[in-house]
Structure 1
Amino acid sequence: MSSVNPARNAAVRILKQVLDGAYAAPLLDQTLAQKFSSSDAGLLTHLVYGTVRHAQTLEKALLPHLKKKPQRQTWVILLLGAFEKLILGTAQHAVVNEYTELAKNHGPQLGGLVNAVLRKVELPETLDYSLPDWLLKAFQQAYPGQWQEVVEDLLKPSPLWLWLSDKGVRQLEEEEALVERGFGQIDKVVLSRSLRKTKAYQKGQAQPINPASYSVVEALGEVMNKEVLDLAGGTGIKAAFLAKKGARVTSVDLDPRKAEQGKQNAERLGQKVNFKTADLRTPGDLGTYSKVLLDAPCTGSGTLRTHPEIKLRITPEYAREMAALQKSLLEESSKFVASGGELVYSVCSILPQEAEEVISSFLEKHPDFEVQVPELMVPSLKTAQGTRTLPINGVDGFFVSRLLKVK
């Protein structure tokens, strides 16, 4: 078998699984747990995420040179080669030689096809930001004055955002990490080693979280000594931060595995959270609380920078299904808000139908609630129903609304 850079070999395996429906992050974590040099680890990560981010543009560049789309293995090799040549700017001869050899490893006859296509492939004259038309229109609707800056920024690699205590900053810097101040305690970090191997992470002084996501926690306001209900809490990261702010938190999610992960992570951070498992469509009596958070399941359209595979799968039909679920969950969540209490609704989506339209529908049925548009710690745009973060410079796209129960 011909010798090919191990990062490129691994990228083919991972990208094939991603195109078959898997998610890139866990596959990369598993693969990078093996022995890779730091340069190969960086190349592998860049190849996988970058190719998925630019997949639509790469497809438009490749298809004119093919009679039909080839079988999956060859298609993946062509996508990766086109990404290196057209987006990364790797020298053509290096790209052609490397990916031709890679193709030969999977079938001697494939080398000629890959060689010929990668020599000829060029970027399309009209760029489409690697988004389907309907999703591009949604970004234009959500950010009418800044949509171009937003969609261009979503094609860039995501920085590593960490919540850091002051002690955590010192510990990382002692391990030669670069810490750039971000928003509040959420900093942009370049590590010298795996996060899980850092002292700051092991000692509970560091936690990955995007600034937009942390803004949701802050939207609940003062929570010291308050009972807080965290619904659709997932692995409880927001719940742990609420506990760190002095709240007594109950976090509820459908998946018991997430509850177990959340418990372990909260313990690492030195926090206690009460985790429960329930279906929020029929949750039963959870009591009443002065502070309720519903970080609702959504399309994830605001996280395309970190989860670019989403845009390969999301459809208008799926968005409608999620909006219907969100309306149902918001209705159920409102039952647990005490008189005078607050309900914060958030989604990591930029789609108006998952954001403003959900809130408007809820308020039509609930005169006992009024909307409060929250101030967020990251660049944001306010609407009548809430605040949406501006997903540039590594910040995710979130929508956040605060609803006050006035009766």
Structure 2
Amino acid sequence: MPRQDIEGSAARAAALRMLDAVLRRDETLEHAAGFATKGLPPADAALAVAIAGETLRRLPDLDALIDSAMQRPLPEDAKARTVLRLALAQKIGLDTPDHAVVATALPLVDGGPRRLVHGVLSTLLKRDRLLDDEPPRLPDAVARRWFKAWGKDVVMAARRALASRPPLDLSFKAEPVKFDGVKLAPLHRRLTDAGKVTSLPGFAEGEWWVQDLAASLPARCIPDDASRVLDAAAAPGGKAMQLAAAGHQVTALDRSKSRLRRLRENFTRVGIEAEIVEAALEDYAPDAPFDAVLLDAPCSASGTLRRHPEVLYRARPAVIEQMAEVQHRLIDAAAKLVGPGGHLVYATCSLEPEEGEEIVTAFVERNGDFSIDPIALDIDGIAADEAGWLRILPGMLEAQGGLDFFFICRLVRKG
């Protein structure tokens, strides 16, 4: 059998292209998968994404393992190192048989150091155990940063969160009468081993949409009596759908035409209506102020590591600093659209204080007519801290499957 025709090689080649796009070109795994898996059967495409994701979850441990079998370490960006990474990730995380690990790795280095890759794999696969039972290590720079901000326990909880793929959370338009899954909050169900999302009951009828429980919290912080509500960074639409389903008159704003296209598709499937506006928040000039504005601001997304492990390598200090500058501008722009006595809910899916606590603290200091309105939600295990804001940290609801990591603060304007 020709090397390129070995069963499963196409999926591994696609995984290699994804890893190259993420680690060398700073792309998201989702975007990289779009071109890397083009033309593959669905099963092969899914396998490629699983291999790339598993590799990114375990990268520091995989590198240490590879280095332990070599006298002279390979360069960080060497193709052979990446091939070894994805080969070992299959063995460790996907229980791929040894012969398949080797057979599908070698074609990826045709014309290159095949003997080296074969030798390293042969050496490592003879070991009784490749890794200990500790959860995956974080990149050193990330571990140091989060240890300084949150302490050892949170770093360990983040490592445990990284170890496995998260469950599937659904948000409902109305409380379901009969639906499998665990209810952790109103209008919510959590599923494990859900299978194909579009095959779940109620999908075609638009009864629900996929949304991590943590991502649903910002919309839950909008007061019930707020009539006109602006979702200031609305796409892909989960929070705007929550607000509309709750009876608010919603304006969904986003500057991205392509993201708004997806939002419209989601709204159509679910059967929810809202005013949809394509504009930059800083340029938006409505006819009247809003009773409440929700700003789930663009950020480093470091809090989404459970679903997007590549953020550990994309959310670098320079990116965090750049996004914080954007957030300062956006929260000021959002505040201008809040009427007297109205509310502003600011949120980011980030574990970085620079994108959460520091943004709000600086905002309140320069905007004397706004103050923090303490958040209280009827969800066990989720509560505001003494400052009144919500900081969703690794470890919260861990026994129930965990959450993405968010910062959420509700501010009220003087009447």
The range that moved more, 161-170 or 320-329, is: 161-170
SS of residue paired to 2:283: coil
**How far apart are the structure 2 equivalents of 1:318 and 1:13?**
23
Correspondence for 2:22: 18
**Residues 344 and 311 (structure 1), Cα distance of their counterparts in 2 relative to 1, 3 Å cut:** same
Correspondence for 1:82: 88
Alignment equivalent of 1:53, drawn from 42, 50, 57: 57
| CA positional deviation for 1:104 | 3.0
SS of residue paired to 1:22: coil
SS of residue paired to 2:183: strand
Pairwise CA RMSD: 3.1
Unaligned runs of 5+ in 2: none
2:228 is aligned with 1:220:
no
| CA positional deviation for 1:137 | 3.4
Alignment equivalent of 1:133, drawn from 140, 144, 167: 140
**Residues 96 and 197 (structure 1), Cα distance of their counterparts in 2 relative to 1, 3 Å cut:** closer
- Give the AA of the match of 1:113: L
Task: Kindly indicate whether the alpha-carbon contact (under 8 Å) linking 2:254 and 2:281 is maintained by their aligned counterparts in 1.
Answer: yes
Task: Kindly indicate whether the alpha-carbon contact (under 8 Å) linking 1:356 and 1:385 is maintained by their aligned counterparts in 2.
Answer: no
| CA positional deviation for 1:168 | 6.7
**How far apart are the structure 1 equivalents of 2:174 and 2:45?**
29
| CA positional deviation for 1:295 | 0.8
- Give the AA of the match of 1:60: A
Correspondence for 1:94: 99
Correspondence for 2:393: 390
**Residues 249 and 141 (structure 1), Cα distance of their counterparts in 2 relative to 1, 3 Å cut:** farther
**How far apart are the structure 2 equivalents of 1:151 and 1:69?**
26
| CA positional deviation for 1:141 | 4.6
TM-score, normalised relative to structure 2: 0.84
SS of residue paired to 2:411: strand
**How far apart are the structure 1 equivalents of 2:78 and 2:231?**
42
**Residues 139 and 118 (structure 1), Cα distance of their counterparts in 2 relative to 1, 3 Å cut:** same
SS of residue paired to 1:183: coil
Correspondence for 1:404: 412
2:207 is aligned with 1:208:
no
The range that moved more, 278-287 or 265-274, is: 278-287
| CA positional deviation for 1:32 | 9.1
| CA positional deviation for 1:131 | 2.6
Q: Deviations over 1:111-156 (max 9, x none)?
A: 3111111233486889795433342234335543731223322232
Task: Kindly indicate whether the alpha-carbon contact (under 8 Å) linking 1:84 and 1:95 is maintained by their aligned counterparts in 2.
Answer: no
Alignment equivalent of 2:121, drawn from 118, 123, 127: 118
| CA positional deviation for 1:381 | 5.5
Task: Kindly indicate whether the alpha-carbon contact (under 8 Å) linking 2:343 and 2:410 is maintained by their aligned counterparts in 1.
Answer: yes
**How far apart are the structure 2 equivalents of 1:135 and 1:404?**
34
Task: Kindly indicate whether the alpha-carbon contact (under 8 Å) linking 1:223 and 1:246 is maintained by their aligned counterparts in 2.
Answer: no
**How far apart are the structure 2 equivalents of 1:362 and 1:167?**
37
**How far apart are the structure 1 equivalents of 2:195 and 2:359?**
42
**How far apart are the structure 1 equivalents of 2:359 and 2:13?**
45
2:166 is aligned with 1:158:
yes
**How far apart are the structure 2 equivalents of 1:126 and 1:315?**
28
| CA positional deviation for 1:256 | 1.8
**Residues 47 and 379 (structure 1), Cα distance of their counterparts in 2 relative to 1, 3 Å cut:** farther
Correspondence for 2:310: 309
Q: Deviations over 1:367-401 (max 9, x none)?
A: 21110221243535614151111334331001110
**How far apart are the structure 2 equivalents of 1:72 and 1:117?**
14
The range that moved more, 390-399 or 113-122, is: 113-122
**Residues 56 and 145 (structure 1), Cα distance of their counterparts in 2 relative to 1, 3 Å cut:** closer
**How far apart are the structure 2 equivalents of 1:363 and 1:192?**
43
**Residues 223 and 154 (structure 1), Cα distance of their counterparts in 2 relative to 1, 3 Å cut:** farther
SS of residue paired to 1:275: strand
**Residues 136 and 268 (structure 1), Cα distance of their counterparts in 2 relative to 1, 3 Å cut:** same
SS of residue paired to 2:344: strand
**How far apart are the structure 1 equivalents of 2:245 and 2:330?**
26
Correspondence for 2:188: 186
Correspondence for 2:234: 233
The range that moved more, 49-58 or 275-284, is: 275-284
Task: Kindly indicate whether the alpha-carbon contact (under 8 Å) linking 2:84 and 2:121 is maintained by their aligned counterparts in 1.
Answer: yes
**Residues 250 and 43 (structure 1), Cα distance of their counterparts in 2 relative to 1, 3 Å cut:** same
Correspondence for 2:7: 4
**How far apart are the structure 1 equivalents of 2:245 and 2:369?**
31
| CA positional deviation for 1:89 | 5.5
**How far apart are the structure 2 equivalents of 1:192 and 1:385?**
35
2:150 is aligned with 1:146:
no
Equivalenced residues, count: 395
**How far apart are the structure 2 equivalents of 1:67 and 1:139?**
28
**Residues 95 and 143 (structure 1), Cα distance of their counterparts in 2 relative to 1, 3 Å cut:** farther
